[in-house]
Structure 1
Amino acid sequence: MPNRILIATAGLCLLAFAPAHAETITLRVLGQPSGSGLIAQQKEKPFFESLAEKTGLDIKVEYLPVDVAGIPDTDGLRILKGGLFDIVSIRGPQVSRDEPSVLGLDLVGLNTSYEAGRKNIDAFMPYVAGRIESQFNGKLLGVWPAGPQVIFCKPEIKGLADLSGHKVRVGDQSAANFVAKLGATGISMPFGEVQQSLARGVVDCAITGPASANSGGWPEATTTVLPIALQLAVNGYAINSVSWAKFTPEQQEKLAAAIGELTTDIWAFSEELYEDAMRCNAGETPCERGKPYSLTTAAVTDADLKTVAAAVGEVSLPIWATQCNAVAPDCESAWRAAVGAQLGL
């Protein structure tokens, strides 16, 4: 009898120290607005829906666009910090009020091409990642551009000077400051409200990428597009730090690598979309991914190009630096060391 007791006790001890079966990790993903364009529809959503298969991780992904969730896209970083969603597709311009350093990736006049954008964004991204980690309990996994932000207007315009006196929907404070310098009034509003606001005259013009404008039906309510790139509309993916800690280092590496591949893919796709959407909006061919419209494309003058280029030093950087330094005293100095040095500022 005693031997049986010893054997039974030993068995219980072995069971107690046996590794438990790992539970499936559920990742709730807050995505880009459902109507914001093909990047969300053809890249982001399919990626997250197939993430388990792609990475081989024992995960269940629940993907929900921010507008379907009924959450303001300006609250992305707060949602990340609170852990309501594990991964947030951050809309950079919209969340910059909560974390001004994000705007330093894409000041008006800074990223006037994809090539310039890659260089400037890579330089300042480590600082922004540090701020998101310390202030919002999140890990930044990658960033990508929605595409060059251009100007769509209901009244016919021929250049930036014609914006004077008009109400312009803007994506962030840097753009608001820029149009104010031109004599216009910058108005912030969710993407989904812009088309009707243009149609009703609530705003006269609005700034976004050509592909997003096409998806949102903006050409139905406008006559002219001025294709001068003000910004690239930088967005990104971040995961809540508590959610990140649920994975082993090896699993973290797989997840980070997969999202890194996604952002690389989106960079290339964004450039393709821009060219195609500009043709679609103007009724030109080939128009492969959008709906054909008949917008007038205003010619971009050298004077307007100089105005945008000068905006960094004259408007967007000075105002942004004051705002960013107010919450992070080393913000401007970090930007000047990383990006300013490249620009010779």
Structure 2
Amino acid sequence: MKLARAAAALAVAFGCLAAHAQDRITFKVIGQPAATGMVQKNKEKPFFDEFAQRTGLPINADYKPIDQLGIKDTEQLRVMKAGLFDIVSLRVSQNSRDEPTLLGLDLVGAAPDYDAARKVYDAYFDTLDQRLQKQFQVKLLGAWPFGPQMLFCKKPLTQLSDLKGMKVRVYDQNLAKFIESVGGTPVPLAFTEVHQSLSLGVVDCGITGPSSANSSNWPEVTTHQYPLGFQMALNAYAITLKAWNRLKPEEQKKVVAAFKTLTDDIWVYSKELTQDALNCNAGKDPCTTGKKFKLVDVAVKPEDINTVRKAVAAISVPTWAEICDKANPTCSADWKKTVGKALNIQ
């Protein structure tokens, strides 16, 4: 009798375990390129590796950096809409051709520093979330910056006007228009192609954040860094509505809270990395997170800061609005009511 009861108890226990195993969800996740460096390695990957622990939910994350998947970073919204992945570390500028509304997070000159970028993010979040849900059936979970995007050149550079006649790697149409305005020739390239392109002379300069440049060894093939911020390279986390709707309301709250903790942490970490990487690239101390190189650290000209600031109203918003309003009729008007109001830009 005792044996029968013990067997019954074991059967119940195994039944509960089996049910629990069936209850576990695994989300397929696209991460940032591993080549981009510290944020991906030290913040993003650990978060998804420990997803169940970080969210407090029976959910695992099958996480892969995008440069290990054979998927272009310009195709992320499409693969989510097709249901191939559940959560994506969304490269904002790179996906703006598919959804121009995204670029409202990161127009050239609108957010050249962390404080301004946070204002843009807070003001624009709901507008962008609603658009992504409507067009791509994905929900925005948060966003964070790689940091100020600046010039790295293999030719001497003292100011923006020196770009005249130079070929400059860019990653979105807004930045391309700005580079044209100061006399440079914009060349769109994926991040992973830039080191070789600089080495071979396909481009004379590239634009990225100092930490990403350090992680990908751009200073091996460049000589000057010009720490004038054009954009902040905001990136976002998004989840498909199909995956989102599998969760109960209280589970959704836990997921949102976990992503807020992650993105808030990255905002702080990004700022620390930026200053440290600038030091490392120029061979200065303190340099604690990167490799030391010997780039010439060019002093930023006040008139160039003014040029970037003026570019928002003169170049960025009009160029973007023309494209975005064709895809989304209320695009620029929504931006002006939210971000424009927060930054006093119309």
TM-score (norm 1): 0.93
Larger radius of gyration: 1
Following superposition, the deviation at residue 342 of structure 1 comes to: 2.7
Q: Quick one: distance in 2 between partners of 1:194 and 1:53?
A: 37
| Deviation readout 1:75-117 (Å, 9 max, x if unpaired) | 1111121121100000011001111111111100010110011
SS of residue paired to 1:61: strand
Following superposition, the deviation at residue 20 of structure 1 comes to: 9.2
Counterpart in the other structure of 2:235: 235
SS of residue paired to 1:67: helix
Alignment RMSD: 1.2
Following superposition, the deviation at residue 54 of structure 1 comes to: 2.0
| Deviation readout 1:244-290 (Å, 9 max, x if unpaired) | 11111111111111011100000000000000000000000010000
**Match for 2:340: what amino acid?**
G
Answer yes or no: is the 8 Å Cα contact 1:167–1:185 preserved in 2: yes
Q: Quick one: distance in 2 between partners of 1:333 and 1:60?
A: 40
The answer to whether the aligner puts 1:95 opposite 2:95 as a matched pair is yes
Following superposition, the deviation at residue 184 of structure 1 comes to: 1.1
Q: Quick one: distance in 2 between partners of 1:250 and 1:267?
A: 26
TM-score (norm 2): 0.93
Instruction: Please give the residue correspondences for 1:1-345 in structure 2 after superposition, counting only pairs within 5 Å.
Output: 23-344=23-344, 345=346
Following superposition, the deviation at residue 21 of structure 1 comes to: 7.7
Q: Quick one: distance in 2 between partners of 1:143 and 1:343?
A: 18
**Match for 1:124: what amino acid?**
Y
**Match for 2:237: what amino acid?**
Y
Answer yes or no: is the 8 Å Cα contact 1:49–1:61 preserved in 2: yes
**Match for 2:77: what amino acid?**
L
SS of residue paired to 2:74: helix
Question: Unpaired segments of 5 or more residues in structure 2?
Answer: 1-18
**Match for 1:232: what amino acid?**
M
| Deviation readout 1:189-236 (Å, 9 max, x if unpaired) | 111110111011000000000000000000000000110000000100
Answer yes or no: is the 8 Å Cα contact 2:108–2:178 preserved in 1: yes
* Runs of 4+ in structure 1 over 4 Å off: 19-22
Answer yes or no: is the 8 Å Cα contact 2:119–2:343 preserved in 1: no
SS of residue paired to 1:305: helix
**Match for 2:185: what amino acid?**
T
SS of residue paired to 1:340: helix
**Match for 2:168: what amino acid?**
V
Q: Quick one: distance in 2 between partners of 1:131 and 1:36?
A: 28
Answer yes or no: is the 8 Å Cα contact 1:96–1:172 preserved in 2: yes
Q: Quick one: distance in 2 between partners of 1:86 and 1:324?
A: 26
Q: Quick one: distance in 2 between partners of 1:316 and 1:54?
A: 38
Following superposition, the deviation at residue 55 of structure 1 comes to: 2.1
Answer yes or no: is the 8 Å Cα contact 1:80–1:238 preserved in 2: no
Answer yes or no: is the 8 Å Cα contact 2:86–2:243 preserved in 1: yes
Q: Quick one: distance in 2 between partners of 1:289 and 1:21?
A: 40
**Match for 2:199: what amino acid?**
A
Q: Quick one: distance in 2 between partners of 1:106 and 1:249?
A: 31
**Match for 1:323: what amino acid?**
I
Q: Quick one: distance in 1 between partners of 2:54 and 2:42?
A: 16
**Match for 2:23: what amino acid?**
E
Q: Go from structure 1 to structure 2 and tell me whether the alpha carbon gap of 1:56 and 1:339 turns closer, same or farther (over 3 Å shift).
A: closer
Following superposition, the deviation at residue 121 of structure 1 comes to: 1.8
Following superposition, the deviation at residue 26 of structure 1 comes to: 0.9
Following superposition, the deviation at residue 56 of structure 1 comes to: 2.4
Q: Quick one: distance in 1 between partners of 2:112 and 2:47?
A: 28
SS of residue paired to 2:111: coil
- The percentage of aligned residue pairs carrying the same residue is 49
Q: Quick one: distance in 2 between partners of 1:342 and 1:132?
A: 22
Answer yes or no: is the 8 Å Cα contact 2:168–2:185 preserved in 1: yes
- How many residue pairs get aligned? The number is 327
